[in-house]
Amino acid sequence: MGANALCGACIADPPGFARARAVFRYDETSRSLVLRFKHADRTDAAPAFGRWLARAGAGMLAEIDVIAPVPMHWFRLFLRRYNQAALLANELGSAVGSRARVIPDLLVRRRWTPIQGKLGRQARYDNIKGAIAVRRACRPCVRGKRVLVVDDVMTTGATASACARALLRAGASGVDVLTLARVVRD
């Protein structure tokens, strides 16, 4: 189909980000790996995941100025004790060296949102709408920069799009997304 081909869903409803890449498909094989990392304190996998992200996103990373994780609401962070997306972003930053600056608190989740896991496509977009913003003190770091948003799993792209739209409103020149896993519909 070609390097610049778009899927039907992206043509019908364009996401806020320009490109998205994932290390692997989210399926029965990868699910336990991701869920142990996300919910079972298996943070020891983060360095390997960071290297995998660097490999999967190599084509995009050459153009990136800033790396930012998808934010967690402060109360969910308190309950879980760590933001898995921030761990991935930091390890990715270590893997790529000084090519891009990692800003773990660039984005903020302004309000509590229910977990997206059981929600359908439109409900996910409605749930996250208006919940993510660029931290006021970090806005100068974004203006004119290409930002890479990092997360663990991309399902519908609702969260990634919300992050991208907030970054573009703050003056980012472009936004790409890199995730550990991506849900692929047959």
Domains of the chain: 20-182 (3.40.50.2020)
What's residue 21's pLDDT? 96
State the pLDDT at residue 53.
97
- Alpha-carbon distance of 48 to 52, in angstroms, equals 6
Q: What is the mean pLDDT of residues 122-150?
A: 90
> Does the pLDDT at position 19 exceed 90?
yes
Q: Which two tokens stand for residue 43?
A: 């943070």
Query: Kind of pairing, strands 132-134 and 107-109?
Result: antiparallel
Residue 70: what pLDDT? 96
pLDDT of 5 higher than 70: no
From first CA to last CA, the distance across the chain in angstroms is 18
Out of 77-86, 128-137, 142-151, give the one with best mean pLDDT: 142-151
Burial class from Cβ neighbours inside 10 Å (0-12, 13-18, 19+) for residue 24 reads: middle
Segment 51-59 shows an average pLDDT of: 95
Q: What per-residue confidence (pLDDT) applies to 150? A: 98
At 87, is the pLDDT very low, low, confident or very high (cuts 50, 70, 90)? very high
Q: Output the pTM of the full model.
A: 0.90
- The pLDDT, as a whole number, for residue 8 is 67
Contact 164, 132 (CB under 8 A): no
pLDDT(115) > 90: no
Residue in 98, 170, 96 with CA at minimum distance from that of residue 134: 170
Short-list 118, 117, 68, CA closest to 92: 68
Residues contacting residue 174 through CB under 8 Å, at least 6 positions apart: 18, 146, 147, 168
